[in-house]
Amino acid sequence: MLRLALSALGLLAIQAAAQCAREDLVAATDSLLAAQSAGTPATVAPLADSIAYLEAFKTANFQTGILSHPLKIAFNRSLHDTTACATYTEIIVTDPSHPYVIGTQMRFADGKIANISTLVTDQGDWLFNATGTYYWATREAWDVIPEDQRDTREVIQAAADAYANLFNDKSVVVPWGHPCARLEGGAYTGSGSANDRCDVGVPNGVALTNRRYVIDETLGAVDVFIDFATVPDSHEFRVEKGQLRFVHTLTVMGG
């Protein structure tokens, strides 16, 4: 029987994870999507005997959490981090009966999923509008980057960190792309034009702490789970030639 070690301490136990095969990580995110579509959390695979499961960065019940609700997924994208043995999956549900935008990080130990942390946003969360999120997300290009044009994981993480550090230190130099667009909840800072900017509306005096990264060099992408002051947050970035191209945010106001 699956034993659920429902504690954030599960993440600490897998920090020294060895490298993983991309095909194994892809199979795991495929199983996550299938499980969410069917409402069958136990079919996420391969699960460790003991896992930590969190929603909004708090211990939750794996069997009765969001994965137990069958959802019609309108859009999804996953990042696969073969160095850290981790994945990130963005899910958009536009079903008018209950729309959601969900972000899930999974972390592996000894080849099995040992930690699942999910941010579930819906009505009442920051700028929530699943229809708007779907509209803009499906118009962005997050194509695989040719191998000889890829940034290193260090460059990708540094771009994300510069953006996050700006919230508490306006002297930080951020590698803004031109164009660059931010999808914040369902609100978009651009229009899909060459003049789009994502250096607008950045607050000051807010510490973005406790950062947990999933980096996929093939997509030039990184997702960061963050404590945004006191609320659970995800910032996902697309980095091209060292510069920010797209930013996606999820913020759970009820967390």
Return d(Cα 139, Cα 218) in angstroms, integer: 19
Average pLDDT rounded to a whole number, residues 240-251: 98
Query: What are the tens digits of pLDDT across the range 17-66?
Result: 459 999 999 999 999 999 999 999 999 999 999 999 999 999 999 999 99
- pLDDT of residue 11 exceeding 70, the answer is no
Return d(Cα 150, Cα 146) in angstroms, integer: 6
Q: DSSP string spanning 88-131? A: EEEEEE--TTS-EEEEEEEEEETTEEEEEEEEEE-TTSTT--HH
Phi, psi of 188 (to 5 degrees): -120, 135
Give pLDDT, residue 254: 77
- pLDDT of residue 247 exceeding 90, the answer is yes
- pLDDT of residue 6 exceeding 50, the answer is no
Residues paired with residue 76 on neighbouring β-strands, in sequence order: 91
**Sign of the alpha-carbon torsion through 41, 47, 48, 53:** negative
CB 105 within 8 A of CB 86: yes
Query: What are the tens digits of pLDDT across the range 148-200?
Result: 999 999 999 999 999 999 999 999 999 999 999 999 999 999 999 999 999 99
CB 225 within 8 A of CB 234: yes
Return d(Cα 248, Cα 223) in angstroms, integer: 9
Give the chain's mean pLDDT.
93
Give pLDDT, residue 4: 45
CB 227 within 8 A of CB 208: yes
- pLDDT of residue 15 exceeding 90, the answer is no
Longest Cα separation, the chain: 55
- pLDDT of residue 12 exceeding 70, the answer is no
Return d(Cα 219, Cα 82) in angstroms, integer: 13
Omega before 232 cis (within 30°)? no
